[in-house]
Structure 1
Amino acid sequence: MSASTTSVRGTANRGSSGSAFRPGSRRQHEVTRLLPGPMLAIILTVLSAIVLIPVAYIFLASVNSDIGVANGEFWPSTFSLENYTKIWSSVGLAKGLANSVLVAGATAVVSAAMSVSIAYVLVRYQFRGRLTILRSLLALQSVPGTLMVLPVFVLFSSAASYLGVQVIGTQWGLFITYLTFAMPFSTWVMVTYLRGLPRELEEAARIDGASNLGVLVRIILPLSWPGIVVSGIFAFLLGWNDVLFASVMTRPDSQTAAVALQIFGASQEGGAIPLYGQMMAASLVCAAPVVILYLIFQRYLVGGLTAGGVK
């Protein structure tokens, strides 16, 4: 009788002490928090200021006059959106933006579609050379892109001589270049993501008569949207922000927005008063598609679709 009473009391004591650590309780958040609240607020404020103050300065400079920016004015004396209308003729940004959207968008879509298929084979099937391929994908990420500029240029230039196919100066040549560098990382991201997907869902689909392609299309793709979005966004950013390969592999009619912005900035060197306002406005316009892309796919970047998939 005493043993049972002691057991009940011990259980009650553990329950009363453990209730403070139930999920979502304030006590649990206090225990798992790494930094005190005031220090955390200070750190977040400093980090936000490091990011937002330069962006605010770029925006204020874009609506300011060139003389005001040259004089070091942070707050413009007069606000004007004239710089945003001039960049389309002076910088030639319209053609560059169209080429960037076409090349970077195609790279993102094709890279995401190919990486999920390759990753599914590498994760779910056992064959000779599988580990070698996985290690090679990881090793390729350590090769600097600057070392590959000359080999890629020589290779694509030789295609015009030996095959009669013009690659240099074309949009699809730049697309192949970006796809080559985006595929290893995108595939590795999808390999890591697919390893966390439950096999029970695939087994249930196979019991229902689904083929390998049916499992990939009906089960893997719907559950892999967060990983697909991450790999696609990485490939898009690779093509959107690149200047090195785009400046070598393109011509004036196929140059991207990053190259057009670089050429415009270089043309302002040595002038009496550079067109600071137009450069700042062009920079914000080039950065806007990336921000919009993040806002659209934010829920896929921060969420998972497999929660509760297997009971």
Structure 2
Amino acid sequence: MTEILVRPPLLGRKPTGRLNADVTRLLPKPLLVTIVVILLLAVLVPLLYIVLASVNSDVSVASGAFFPTELHLDNYLKVWTTVDLRNGLINSVIVSGSVAIICAALAVSSAYVLVRFAFRGRLTVLRTLVGLQSIPGTLMLLPVFVLFASLASALGIQIIGTRWALFITYITFALPFSTWVMVTYLRGLPRELEEAARIDGASSWRILTRIIVPLSWPGIVVSAIFAFLLGWNDVLFASVMTDRTSRTAAVALQVFGATQEGGAIPLYGQMMAASLICALPVVVLYLVFQRYLVGGLTAGGVK
């Protein structure tokens, strides 16, 4: 009788690179490369056009020229006097930055309570956080405006036309999403670290500040950046809740574009230059916190 020896599989052995690539690849390589190239062109070509138009003459841009015949770098200098861009950028940085910081701090503390403590109504709060994301912000414009106007008349405090109106509005809309991001992230943190700290006599506040926050930086950065972008890119609420002194950079660009409508050739070069200047802080923000963004966005995806 012939014995058949069956070799047991090697535990922990990883598949070869060829097999792993074939398993994980969803599309054939030529099709995948084609799709990636098309997506890159769809993003980079408009961006390249904006960059070239910002250093081109207004007549050349109006005639449809893609490449500038001569460089007009002075568009980046003229825009500061043509548009109230300095005041808009200062207001945007103050409002969006404060919303991001406060929202991230409230989100991590709220998520810690929702994840680590059991109490009545906990699931209702979690479901409400998800449900609030389905409400369009456009529908809330009139109720928020009426609420602020009523509070101003009742308390005698000016709210509409100030930065406080934008701050309260943005933090109200950004906090549910930021809290849900932190809930998803904190669920992946091991409880053993907190249990060991409690055995050593650490309080909940000490555990939150000394253990949870240092381990949650990717999630905190993600929630803060999303809150920052909400305030930075908003035009609808900022155009209604602000006046000339408190308008943000997005509203300043909108006003600048509206003033260029007419019979004369618009200042295309300065419009493109102003757009790039307003987009630069967001690009720098992504580049600085890129490694935190990757870890924070993928947290909770694998259990």
TM-score bin, normalised by smaller chain: over 0.9
| Cα deviation code 1:9-35 (max 9, x no counterpart) | 4216x55xx99x725633222222112
| Cα deviation code 1:211-265 (max 9, x no counterpart) | 1001101111011111111110000000000000000110101100000000000
Please say if 1:192 is aligned against 2:188: no
Segment drifting more, 124-133 vs 48-57: 124-133
- Whether the aligned pair in 1 keeps the contact of 2:107 and 2:182 (CA below 8 Å) is yes
| Cα deviation code 1:170-200 (max 9, x no counterpart) | 1122111100100011111111111111111
Please say if 1:182 is aligned against 2:174: yes
Please say if 1:11 is aligned against 2:7: yes
Paired AA for residue 122 in structure 1 = L
Please say if 1:258 is aligned against 2:254: no
* 1:144 corresponds to which of 117, 136, 147: 136
Q: Which residue of 2 aligns with 1:53?
A: 45
Structure 1 stretches of 5 or more lacking a match?
A: none
Q: Which residue of 2 aligns with 1:283?
A: 275
Structure 2 stretches of 5 or more lacking a match?
A: none
Please say if 1:163 is aligned against 2:159: no
- Whether the aligned pair in 1 keeps the contact of 2:219 and 2:295 (CA below 8 Å) is no
Q: Which residue of 1 aligns with 2:218?
A: 226
Sequence identity (%): 68
CA RMSD of aligned residues (A): 1.9
Tell me the secondary structure at the aligned position of residue 70 of structure 2: coil
TM-score scaled by length of structure 1:
0.92
Q: Which residue of 2 aligns with 1:78?
A: 70
**Deviation >3 Å, runs of 4+:** none
* 2:116 corresponds to which of 116, 124, 128: 124
**Max radius of gyration: which structure?**
1
Q: Provide the rounded CA distance (Å) in 2 between the counterparts of 1:157 and 1:183.
A: 23
Note the 1:16-95 alignment, pairs <5 A.
22-23=14-15, 25-95=17-87
Q: Provide the rounded CA distance (Å) in 1 between the counterparts of 2:240 and 2:58.
A: 31
Number of matched pairs: 298
Tell me the secondary structure at the aligned position of residue 10 of structure 1: coil
Q: Which residue of 2 aligns with 1:213?
A: 205
Q: Which residue of 2 aligns with 1:301?
A: 293
Indicate how the Cα distance of structure 1 residues 23 and 218 shifts in structure 2: closer, same or farther if over 3 A, else same: farther
Q: Provide the rounded CA distance (Å) in 2 between the counterparts of 1:65 and 1:79.
A: 8
Tell me the secondary structure at the aligned position of residue 134 of structure 2: coil
Q: Provide the rounded CA distance (Å) in 2 between the counterparts of 1:206 and 1:271.
A: 72
TM-score scaled by length of structure 2:
0.94
